[in-house]
Amino acid sequence: RTLRESVRNDGEVLRLGRLRRRPRPRRILLLIDVSGSMKARTEENMKLAHALSQAAHNVEVFTFGTRLTRVTRALRLKRREQALNAAASLVSDWDGGTRIGDALQAFLAVPRFGSYARGAAVVIISDGLERGDPVALRDSVAKLSRRAWRLSWLTPLATTAGFQPQTEALIAIRRFVDDLVGGGSSAAVVSHLLSLGSRRAA
């Protein structure tokens, strides 16, 4: 571009052409707790995950309770009812126990899954009422935080701005997450996702 302009101006370089890096949307990795203690929020969280998957192509969605399930492909279906039914057929641990540490270890053990977290905005929606080993949870969250651009944990237990974790699991992971905020409503989750977008732009 600089050479073409110099030819038009009798060999004088009046302005240097510069390449601009094309902005690339950051991947969003959504991990949704579908255990019994999150039953009141599961349907709304899955609807939100479907809407997010339709709005952006760089979204990965997993559910967990006692096991890990990738539901990204199911949520790519355009019709919400069809997408949620497809996801429901994949998930075998609805309304069961909570073994977050085991689920995250399973996620990190698969190289392809682990790559989804690299440089991504990782959002975990869970109350953190772990029934498994809190040490396994702590170690998994620590590894995940090192791969992620930003790690957010959204819990319906955070009902005030000055929320301080009380459960053993949330206390164990607190220092490894960038955000530990409210996730008790779709509005709260959407608000946080939008705030991540403004941080990225900044």
> What is the tens place of the pLDDT at every residue in 76-126?
999 999 999 999 999 999 999 999 999 999 999 999 999 999 999 999 999
Tens digits of residue pLDDT in 145-191: 999 999 999 999 998 878 888 888 899 999 999 999 999 999 999 99
Q: What's residue 8's pLDDT? A: 67
Nearest to 110 by CA among 68, 59, 173: 68
Average pLDDT of the segment spanning 55-79: 95
Instruction: Give percent of the chain with pLDDT exceeding 70.
Output: 87
- pLDDT for residue 35 is more than 80: yes
Evaluate if residue 200 carries a pLDDT over 60: no
CB 67 within 8 A of CB 93: yes
| pLDDT > 80? residue 7 | no
Bridge partners, 69 (sequence order): 63
Q: What is the pLDDT of residue 103?
A: 95
CATH code linked to domain 25-201: 3.40.50.410
pLDDT at 29 over 50: yes
Q: Where exactly are the structural domains of the chain?
A: 25-201
- CA 155 from chain centre, in angstroms, equals 13
